[in-house]
Amino acid sequence: MENTIAVLFDMDGVICHTNPYHSQAFRQFFSKRDLSPTDEEFAQHMFGKSNSYILSHFLQREVVGEEFKQLEDEKESLFRTIYEPYIEPIGGLLEFVSELKAHGVKTGVATSAPYANLELIIDKLALREKMESILASENVSKHKPDPEVYLTSAANLGVAPEQCVVFEDSYSGVSAAINAGMKVVGVLTSHRREELPPCDLYIENYKDLSFEKVRGLF
């Protein structure tokens, strides 16, 4: 089916507005180490960045191997504890996904977050059974802006990259989608449109979005 389209969602800032809670988790994590990054530093060096980049940047040294695993686990379990009571989707998301499924659209999640975070969120929102491909940081060797997670998602769904639309909110994520040769919708939860590479469409939330609008991108 040449006219099949597939829709891929990043998670943080795209399915849920998690960034404020990641900030809280990182603040707690860093304050234990007598560090207090500013909001500006967080905006520049946290949103959409991998944990290895964030930890190395703020601790001002390379964090790798077993130490990286331990520090990442500490920070992410802090995040899950803080965020668990507040999990809710970005406005209109669940209705939009249901409409896509009603039109036979294949869907997937492709996040740089660890699998435990992904599991917490998609199970709470009952999205697992609506996604034919689910990829987290453990499933790839190269992180966004590398296109690996999106190219693997397309392969999982049995579609070509040019049949895919990606929903992303970060510079590295939008770049990964473009590098994969996919259409991209910029979700303006963490950045203004001028802070992202050029997208095919921009949205604040999913309330005015429809299957027809997505199909119209092709």
Q: Which residues are catalytic?
A: 10, 12
Residues 6+ apart with CB under 8 A from 181: 147, 161, 162
With residue 76 as reference, give the H or E element that holds it: helix 65-83
Q: Give CA separation, 83 vs 12, 88, 120, 151, 155, in Å.
A: 12, 10, 10, 30, 32
Tell me how far apart the alpha carbons of residues 53 and 63 are, in angstroms, rounded to a whole number. 9
Whether the link from the prior residue into 145 is cis, omega within 30° of 0, is yes
Strands (E), the chain: 6-9, 106-110, 133-135, 164-168, 183-187, 201-203
User: How far, in Å, CA of 161 to CA of 159, rounded?
Assistant: 7
Would you say the C-alpha torsion 169, 37, 34, 27 has a positive or negative sign?
A: negative
